[in-house]
Amino acid sequence: MKSERKLRLRRLLRYGLRRTLILPMDHGATQGPLAGLEDMRAAIDGLRGQEVDAVVLHKGGIKWTHDLLCEQRQLSVILHVSASVRLSPRADYKVQVATIEEALRLGADAVSVHVNLGTDGDHAMLETLGRVAEGCDRYDLPLLAMMYPRGPGVHEFGEAEVALAARVGQELGADLVKVNYTGSAESFRRVLSGVTVPVLIAGGERQETPGELFEMVRAALDAGASGVAVGRAVFQSKKPKAVLRGLHRLVHENGTVDEARREAGIAA
């Protein structure tokens, strides 16, 4: 791995624990103006002073907020190159909508690709992942692969399915892999035993409370996860900044669930 890529990865996996807290904010291309992301400039500006390592944005989101992103020097920017829209009869089929060259022109620190394994069109999404991985190798950009088991009859949170998704992401060249949490530290530890790249957990099935989110994150970290990439559980919560403070306590300070609750001002 070349020095440029190592430096970019070091920014993503910061602090002594080499963990990361990523906030995906790319949902608008699929879902439209979700609550919490109606005004992207306000959403990005609201991250000032928050211990977030990176945001995931589509190219339009980077363009609209470029000045605000430049003012937050600690914040890495990940260009998401996959998209689909919820109105499509094949909404789980993601297509490539941006290139590595665009990522460089926009000043992105990394790129991400979304692959749904088990759905119609997964072969094309795998082809996209391989193509983007080659471009990342050529230009020394880290690659985050968002790998989800998804489709008719597919258990999205099953251990075997998530283990497959994580391994496929690594095999096709990702530097980091984002997957669903399998529901227990024991099963997730077995998932991690099959890969060597850092693995992040997604928000998974929507947590009812921030406390439940903290419990899931703590268990995943105990199993060996390298961090989280959680979007809606943060920006659609009643107190996004409080949730981020709690997540930071867990991810970067190795705090307990109770400490995260207190940091977020949430009663046990």
**Active site amino acids:** 148, 178
Residue 122 · residue 116 · CB < 8 Å: yes
> CA-CA distance, 197 to 116, in Å (whole number)?
19
What is each CA distance from 211 to 10, 135, 221, in whole angstroms? 29, 40, 15
Task: Give how far Cα 138 sits from Cα of 1, 8, 104, 122, 194, Å.
Answer: 11, 15, 12, 24, 27
From 26, 40, 97, select the one nearest 69 (Cα to Cα). 40
- Which structure tokens are listed for 41? 């400039």
Of residues 58, 68, 74, the one with CA closest to residue 24: 58
Q: How is residue 27 written in tokens?
A: 């949902």
Report yes or no: 68 and 115 within 8 Å, Cβ to Cβ.
no
